């Protein structure tokens, strides 16, 4: 069974540039999470979906960040105008409806210069 | 709000030493508790979970027992190996899997040969 796939693995931007991250969850998993992990910190939830619906986006900086999961499968997280403080690893995870533990992808490591 | 506290930020051990990482939680309800391990350049890997008081979770020689009285879920391993060097995260979620996990700050374990 394929795991959670994320791309790209790395991104380097100047402040003000835009970037998109893509996530392909495990087949059959209805719940998809995006976490931000600053260096030497634990993962912090940004947003999560059940199928195509947003369940919680209260921690997503809505002025610059957006996330979609239009068909309830793949998802895209976008940063409109990156800031140095956005430097972190962005992790995608998925889980199934029967309360399995979320499983993570390898993450996208973002550096904003 | 709910939270997870990991007391040790860093732990340095020699091979065959006994490992303990302390995890305490604060939650309004009856949470499910999780341990994850993260190696450099990878996403967190699920180790195990426990859902009820006195339940023991275990995997790869690691174990932890859910203690509702002391609100704890301490991770232990009897004899560590160099390959156990990684960052370990305690996390909490709800019983039904209806919300995203809340992670602790992580404990970096370094095992020397």
What digits encode the pLDDT tens for the residues A29-87? 999 999 999 999 999 999 999 999 999 999 999 899 999 999 889 999 999 999 999 99
pLDDT the model gives residue A26 = 94
- Calculate how close chain A gets to B15, using CA atoms only, in Å: 24
Average pLDDT in the A96-110 region? 89
Confidence (pLDDT) at B90: 98
Q: Return the H-helix or E-strand segment holding B50.
A: strand B45-50
Say how far residue B29 (Cα) sits from the centre of its chain. Answer: 19
pLDDT digits (tens, 9 = 90+) for B38-86: 999 999 999 999 999 999 999 999 999 999 999 999 999 999 999 999 9
Of the candidates A69, A33, A82, A20, the residue with the CA atom closest to the CA atom of residue B103: A33
CB contact under 8 Å between A56 and B100, yes or no, is yes
pLDDT at B30: 87
- % residues pLDDT > 90 (chain B): 91
Q: Which of B101, B104, B108 to mutate to test the interface with A (most CBs of A within 10 A)?
A: B101
Which residue in B97, B73, B80, B71 sits closest to B18, CA to CA?
A: B80
């Amino acid at each position: 069974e394929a795991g959670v796939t994320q791309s790209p693995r790395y991104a380097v931007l100047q402040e003000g540039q835009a970037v998109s991250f893509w996530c392909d969850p495990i087949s059959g998993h209805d719940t998809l999470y995006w976490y931000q992990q600053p260096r030497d910190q634990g993962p912090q939830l940004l947003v999560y979906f059940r199928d195509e619906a947003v369940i919680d986006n209260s921690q997503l900086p809505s002025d610059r960040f957006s996330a979609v999961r239009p068909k309830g499968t793949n998802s895209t997280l976008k940063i409109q105008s990156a800031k140095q403080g956005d430097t972190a690893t962005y992790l995608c995870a998925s889980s199934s409806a029967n309360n399995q533990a979320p499983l993570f992808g390898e993450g996208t490591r973002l550096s904003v210069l | 709000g709910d939270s997870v506290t990991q007391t040790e930020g860093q732990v340095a051990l020699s091979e065959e030493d006994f490992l303990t990482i302390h995890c305490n939680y604060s939650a309004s309800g009856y949470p499910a508790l999780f341990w994850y391990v993260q190696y450099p350049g990878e996403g967190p890997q699920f180790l195990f979970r426990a859902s009820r008081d006195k339940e023991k979770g275990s995997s790869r020689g690691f174990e932890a027992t859910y203690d509702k009285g002391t609100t704890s879920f301490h991770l232990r391993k009897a004899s560590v190996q160099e390959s156990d060097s990684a960052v370990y995260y305690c996390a909490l979620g709800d019983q039904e899997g209806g919300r995203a996990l809340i992670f602790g700050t992580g404990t970096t374990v370094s095992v020397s040969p």
